[in-house]
Amino acid sequence: MAQRKRGPFVSVQLMSRWRNIVGLNVGMGEFLHKYPHVFELFVHPLRRNLCCKITQRMRDLIDEEEKIVEEYEPELLQKVKKLLMMSKNGTLHVHALRLIRRELGLPEDFRDSILRTHSKDFRLVDLEIVELVDRNESLAKAEVEKWREKEYVDKWLSEFETSYAFPINFPTGFKIEGGYREKLKNWQRLPYLKPYESKEVLRVRTCGGIERFEKRAVGIIHELLSLTVEKMLEVDRLAHFRKDFAIEVNVCELLLKHPGIFYICTKGSTQTVFLREAYSKGCLALPNPIYVVRRKMLDLILLGHRNTRSLEDLEEIKEERNGSVFRTNVGGRRDGDWIVPILDSYDQNAFGSLGDINDSKQPFDGCESGRN
């Protein structure tokens, strides 16, 4: 909407046709009116039809995110390199990268701005395959290996205990059954082929059995999540990397098998996996600039109808360690209430009666785990 050549706005009547495309289970008019800090509704001065555009505050945050992504291009370049270094043949499907583009923090035009521009690092074999031109061994260290070094130094643990271990953080109330501790201790000590080590022919029935093969898959998924902005991915999108990363196990079953490392959140039909160690009290423990600006966007969305009497006088978003603080508008008729009947008529003309809202407002810690 913000990048349209005819102007940074769209007719609400046209937007009503997008309802099924974007997967809304509520009328477009009701949806737009629900987020006045994100969408601004106005009557076109010439055509006299109802239009919608992104509010200036949200537009500023979008511009801020784009600027941060540009500034962090060297780091994004390293992320793509590391993913290619983890792959079996040094190649990845561009479609798989496109699916997790936002999670990695890549720009929308990453194929041209990163893959084509940096021809010394990447080569497009065809339209859908990207190949790493030259490995950079200085990047061949997984995030979990940095944690192991810290554990070895800070806690004076032996190499035998830390060389192949993963950080384990069980959820509150997790029941540890008899013999589980010993089994976990043995698994932590079990050697495996690390994500950036040379890839020989990898089979499930190799020396060491299925456990070593599964532990390698855990290491790859752990590293992939570590490279994302919010240390999370939709489980379905992980499946698109199975072939390139030679993961020949059921990904969902593997994640559920290690609740101390991964957390699966289920909302509707979507399952999202979080890296448990990266979160504290539902928020990212070590936030990065892209994550911070996205949290600001989320804060605007969560404001709903609060402070809509005068959006111009809305206080600056105040960042705090555990969130943001806003002044709320108390009572009174809201500007824009006159628009609701018009919006409803657009939706009813396009799709009949308005649908029910089935959105979940549960926080991260309150999601249903896929283990249930």
3-state SS string over 84-116?
HHHCCCCEEEHHHHHHCHHHHCCCCCHHHHHHH
Tell me, yes or no, whether 168 and 277 share the same domain.
Answer: yes
Tell me, yes or no, whether 164 and 210 share the same domain.
Answer: yes
Q: What pLDDT score does 145 carry?
A: 94
Percentage of the chain surpassing pLDDT 90?
51
Residue 238 above 60 pLDDT? yes
The residue segments making up the domain with residue 159 are 139-283
Among 16-25, 32-41, 56-65, 78-87, whose mean pLDDT is lowest? 16-25
Q: How many CB atoms lie within 10 A of CB 282?
A: 13
Tell me, yes or no, whether 111 and 194 share the same domain.
Answer: no
Kindly list the distances between the CA atom of residue 185 and the CA atoms of 45, 149, 181, 220, 226, in Å, as whole numbers in the listed order. 70, 18, 6, 20, 23
Tell me, yes or no, whether 82 and 54 share the same domain.
Answer: no
Among 209-223, 256-270, 274-288, 333-347, whose mean pLDDT is lowest? 333-347
Per-residue confidence at 4, pLDDT binned at 50, 70, 90? low
Tell me, yes or no, whether 218 and 172 share the same domain.
Answer: yes
Tell me, yes or no, whether 237 and 143 share the same domain.
Answer: yes
Average pLDDT of the chain is 81
Count of domains in the chain?
3
SS3 227: coil
* H or E segment to which residue 244 belongs: none
In a domain, 4, yes or no: no
Q: What pLDDT score does 164 carry?
A: 94
In a domain, 1, yes or no: no
Structure tokens that stand for 146 in this block: 């940095």
Q: Between these two residues, 5 and 362, which has the higher pLDDT value?
A: 5
Give the whole-angstrom CA distance, residue 158 versus residue 257. 26
Q: What pLDDT score does 309 carry?
A: 53
Tell me, yes or no, whether 106 and 185 share the same domain.
Answer: no
Tell me, yes or no, whether 93 and 201 share the same domain.
Answer: no
Tell me, yes or no, whether 149 and 261 share the same domain.
Answer: yes
Among 140-149, 172-181, 188-197, whose mean pLDDT is lowest? 172-181
Per-residue pLDDT of 119-139, as tens digits, reads 999 999 988 899 999 889 999
Tell me, yes or no, whether 293 and 358 share the same domain.
Answer: yes
What is the pLDDT averaged over residues 216-240? 96
Whole-model pTM above 0.75? yes
In a domain, 95, yes or no: yes
In a domain, 262, yes or no: yes
Tell me, yes or no, whether 166 and 279 share the same domain.
Answer: yes
Tell me, yes or no, whether 231 and 196 share the same domain.
Answer: yes
Q: Between these two residues, 224 and 332, which has the higher pLDDT value?
A: 224
Nearest to 335 by CA among 51, 33, 57: 33
Per-residue pLDDT of 287-303, as tens digits, reads 999 999 999 999 999 98
In a domain, 333, yes or no: yes
